[in-house]
A and B are shown apart, each in its own frame.
Chain A
Amino acid sequence: GQQVMQIPQYQHVQEGEDFTTYCNSSTTLSNIQWYKQRPGGHPVFLIQLVKSGEVKKQKRLTFQFGEAKKNSSLHITATQTTDVGTYFCNAGKSTFGDGTTLTVKP
């Protein structure tokens, strides 16, 4: 079935550094959603991307959907301790990647 790979699995950064996580699919996706799960919490919807090459921004977060609609990325500029958590992509049909866990050192 449809699967997505997320890299890296873990990322440790110093506060203020940038962070990027990637979501890759072997098949063309209709859309993709990103979720954030804080430690001990539940996934919370962040954004949905639908169009080829789409870029959306939420404050320090930038989301991109690849031109071929087979990959997506989430970039955080100048990380803060509040960004700590695991970021998941969902490639539709409830297919979640295994996430990238971000830790931020103050």
Chain B
Amino acid sequence: EAGVVQSPRYKIIEKKQPVAFWCNPISGHNTLYWYLQNLGQGPELLIRYENEEAVDDSQLPKDRFSAERLKGVDSTLKIQPAELGDSAVYLCASSASGEKNIQYFGAGTRLSVL
């Protein structure tokens, strides 16, 4: 069984440029999470989806961040425009409806904003 797939693995952009991250969760997992992880810190939730509905986006900086999960499967997280402080690892995770507390993480996208 394939795990959570994220792309790209690395992204280097200049500030004020847009960037997008893609995530394909484990097949059959209804819940999808986007996290931001800074060095030396734990993952911080940005948004959580139940199928195609965003049920927790309270920590998403909506002035520059957006996300979508149109068909309730894969998801895209976008930043526009990117700022220097957005440099971090962006992790996607998914969980099954019967085991909501057990999250499976992708390898993440390491973003560097110059």
Contacts and interface: CB of A to CB of B under 8 A. Distances in A.
A41 B107 CA distance: 7
Would you call the interface of chain A mostly helix, strand, loop, or mixed? loop
Given A42-B91, A42-B108, A98 B40 contact: yes
Given A96-B44, A99-B42, A45 B106 contact: no
Interface in A69-95: 88, 90, 92-95
B44 A43 contact: no
A94 B45 contact: yes
B99 to A, nearest CB: 8
A20 interface: no
B44 to A, nearest CB: 7
Nearest to B41: A98
B102 A98 contact: no
Contacts of B45: 94-95
B104 interface: yes
Given A42-B91, A43-B91, A33 B42 contact: no
B107 A31 contact: no
What bracket does the count of chain A residues touching chain B fall in? 20 to 34
A92 B103 CA distance: 11
A44 B105 contact: yes
Contacts of A101: 40
Contact of B104 (A31, A45, A88, A92): A45
A97 B56 CA distance: 19
A42 B107 contact: yes
Contacts of A92: 101
Nearest to B3: A42
A46 to B, nearest CB: 10
